[in-house]
Structures are given as structure tokens and as C-alpha cells.
A = this chain, B = another copy of it.
């Protein structure tokens, strides 16, 4: 089979997602029937690997070579100039969660470089940045895909975009968008049995690695608000930012000051009775409490917070740290399209990224 296309890949970030992505890129480059992939640039926080003559970096050994003989990281401007001078199509793969890189997306796209990323920052920041990104894409034809910015590798964004582009009317999007919140509420208020005390569940989830090092980074609801911002905008709502709508913060007000994580976890126990009351109130109505996000397209509103569900409802009935996303649309009628599964993790997040890369490669000449 003859090679139809050649494409250069630039990868920034080699953490959990980035290193899994490089493994997948190695697989794809060996198995794609028609495309030759050239890894031309790899960077981590302080180092970069690239060659003045644009020669290939071996994918399998890229990270060890970068570690051993990378140059000091160039400024983003210098890096983008370098990428724009590569004499073939370039895809920039941003596997960081950097705000600075996110803000450079419009310029990167204006230089004709396509982007794939799981980085939520660019799409959940100001609405102005969102517009600049998609305007730049539309004017140069450089593409930008970000499936893994919501629900990791699950087909959430592609599905929503297809609904919108084919003329379905999205009415409501609702779900559990955080593996941490899923795990916490599935344990705290299970559909069968009583569950533990709130602060103990938080402590246990943390020890099992289901929370950020500081659980307050999950409990504040901001990560979920960012995801809803992205979905709401894709559904056509000009959501100003991830802090422009109602987000329930599960960090008690008294504990929002500066204190270390251990002190926070100790003091959180003082609020267990309040959480227990929430749980028993729901139980009295034969329901369970869950922490969900939703976008109501008709009213143009998004919200994040506690809601009650019947035990047989798919949102009540989650397990472990699974995410679930329901799309209520005109075409689907009363029964939503539901997608459920792991919404975090290096391999599945990277799969969303490499799937997006394949979509871009199929479209560029």
C-alpha cells in the first residue's frame, strides 16, 4: 500500500496522558495503511527535542532521548515559529493543562497548525478565547479537536457536535462529570446499604487515589463547571466562563481559607452531620443524592450541584468512579442517549487524543 500523506507531530507534555499518547502514536505510526507520521518535536516542562533539519525523532525512545539530550525549552513563540517552518502539515498535541499554551491556540491555528488536546483551559476560559480559536480554525482551515477535554476517551464531544451539525435540537445535557464525585457519592449514598460518613469517604477516596492530592480541588466543583462550559458552548450557548453560572461548592465556607490538607480533612468531620441530613432527606423520599452538572439549552442556563434521583435512574445507579452523560434531544425524545464509563486515566484520555489525531489526519491533505 502506498503512502498517501505525511504529517509532522509536535507533542508537548509527557505526564500520565502524554506518555500514554506516545505509546499510542507508536502503534498508529506502525499500523496506519496510508499515512507516514513524523514525530518532529517533543517538549516537557523545561526541555525540548527537535532538529533544525526537521529530521524524525524515534517515537519509542523519544522520552529517554529528550531526558538525556534535550535542549532548554524554547519560548512558545520560538517553538511555534519552528513548527510553522516545517515543510509539511503539522499537528500540535497539547498534553498539558497549561493556561499559557491554551492562550496560544489562536496564534498556532493562524499559522496553519492543527491542534489536538485534552486541555480544558482553552475551551472553558473566556468566551472571547473560544471565539478566537474557532475563528482562526475556520479562516485557515487548521483544525482543532478536544474530545478528551470532557469524559476522557468517551465519545462525548464528537456526539454532541454531530447532533448540532445535523440539525438535532439539544434540549438538556445532564450527568456526573467527575470521577471523584462519582466515587464519593456512590460510596456515601449507595443505592443499597447506608454508606459511610462524608469526611471518612473523602479521606478514603483520597487514599485510593480517586481525588486530587488536595480534595478541595475536586469538592469546589470547578472541574465540572469547566466541562459544562465546553458542552454548553458546543450546544450553542455563549457561556461567558466557567464561573458565570451556579456552581455548588462542597467545601464548607468556614474551610475555604488557607489550611493544609490534613487540617481540612479533620475539620471536614464537623460537617458530617449536615451531609448526613442531606442523605437521609433524600432517603425519606426513596431517592439518593448525587452531585451532577446540567445544561438547559432552552433557558441558556448551566448548573452544578446536588440533586436527588430515583434508585433505578442511571445517574443513581453508577458504580465506582464512572462518569455518565445523558443527552436529551428532540430526535431522541423522552429517552436520552447515555454514555457511561471511565472519565479519567492516562490510557483512555490518550485514546481520545489519538482518535482526534486520526480525525485530523484523515482531513488534511
Q: Which residues of A contact B (CB under 8 A)?
A: 1, 4, 23-24, 27-28, 31-34, 138, 141, 153-155, 158-159, 162-163, 165-168, 191-192, 312, 314, 317, 319-320, 322, 330-333, 335-342, 345, 347-348, 351, 354-355, 358, 362-363, 365
Contact = CB atoms under 8 A, between A and B. Distances in A.
Contacts of A153: 331, 337
Contacts of A31: 165, 167
Nearest to A147: B162
Contacts of A348: 331-332
Given A322-B335, A331-B153, A168 B351 contact: yes
Copies in the complex: 2
B351 A341 contact: no
Contact of A354 (B166, B345, B362): B166
Contact of A338 (B24, B163, B312, B339): B339
Contacts of A191: 312
Contact of A355 (B162, B330, B335): B162
18 contacts: A4-B141, A24-B166, A31-B165, A33-B138, A155-B162, A158-B158, A162-B355, A162-B358, A166-B355, A168-B347, A314-B317, A322-B335, A330-B347, A331-B345, A331-B348, A332-B348, A337-B342, A363-B363
Given A340-B340, A341-B338, A24 B158 contact: no
Contacts of A333: 342
A345 B168 CA distance: 14
Contact of A314 (B4, B141, B340, B354): B340
A354 to B, nearest CB: 4
Contact of A363 (B28, B138, B141, B362): B362
Contacts of A362: 362-363
Q: Which 3 A-B pairs have the closest CB atoms?
A: A27-B167, A337-B341, A162-B355
Nearest to A319: B335
Given A166-B28, A348-B332, A154 B337 contact: yes
Contacts of A331: 153, 345, 347-348, 351
